[in-house]
Structure 1
Amino acid sequence: MKKLHIAALSVALIAFGSSTVAWSEDDDDDERGRKGKTEHSERGGRGGLGAVTNERYRTECGGCHFAYLPGLLPAASWGQVMDTLDKHFGDDATLEPAVKDELLAYLQTNAADRGAKGKTRFTAPPAGKEPPRITQTAYFTRKHDEVPARQVKDNPKVGSFSNCQACHPKADKGSFEEDDVVIPGFGAFKD
């Protein structure tokens, strides 16, 4: 009977250990962002977002602002963004229908909810009158809640939390490692 209890306890501990490893890889909240850094860097950082691979998207959208990685929003949110290009956050960013369709297909194919893992950290932000904003997703908000506004919004070298590449020098490659964050005028981020 004692052996049966020990065996059951061992199985439970192994299961718990496996779930803890899976949780830490999915949640990206390890102490210093080091666990698996090399392993995940080929996919664009621990989030596995990867770099933008569509040149037309890079030039059409990246010509005006940072070419946000498709994995930062779910497919439905990208659909809403692309359906409202005539009033794109205060600007008219209308595209030819064929170009719009190509970019929408790229964004939705590579969207947060279409990834290899089948789940996402970036779920749709609260519904509003405007298209969804990446900066309003729960995951983004949680990851930036310790960054003072004076270092971003009040910082003329950054200006907004949507200016990813200002503080994340490898953002274009899909890497948002906390260890790599450098806030202009303030230096490396320390939480």
Structure 2
Amino acid sequence: MEFLEEHKPLVAGIVILIAVSLGLVIFSQNRSEARRIAAEQQQAEMEKSRQEAEQKARAEIVRIEQQQREQEREAEEHARAEEQLRSESDRLYQNTQSNNRYADQQERSRQAWEDREEENARRLAQYKEQYERMQNDRNAEQARRELLYKIRELEAIKMRDQYRRPPVTVIK
């Protein structure tokens, strides 16, 4: 205690220095905290304005994309209308040609069907004749089975053709 009494001004100076240092530290911390809060607020404001700018940009992009889609849709409708007109005129032209080709095709089809019927009848008669000859020949059993199979096959074809498509008569 004597030391304190003797060096009172020095101790008071040290205490004042410590108090001033503490005050400066507290002031500095408060100032740093205020700067940090101000920086955070500024950052939040910048983030908010950035988000607003992004929203405006997105809205503009959506508007432009919608406008482009509308233009594309109009162009597609125009192209579709042109194609429809073109196809309608082509269809009318093709119908007239198609009617003529259809009559010719029906005649050819009827003739081919008659030719096939005649050929099948001729082959059937030929196979039946061969079958009858082979029945008399004991050594040709395998050939007889094959001809019998062919006869049945041709009869099936004949029956199928008969019920599938009767002859077409073209009236001119």
TM-score bracket, normalised by the shorter chain, equals under 0.3
Q: Which has the larger radius of gyration?
A: 2
Larger helix percent: 2
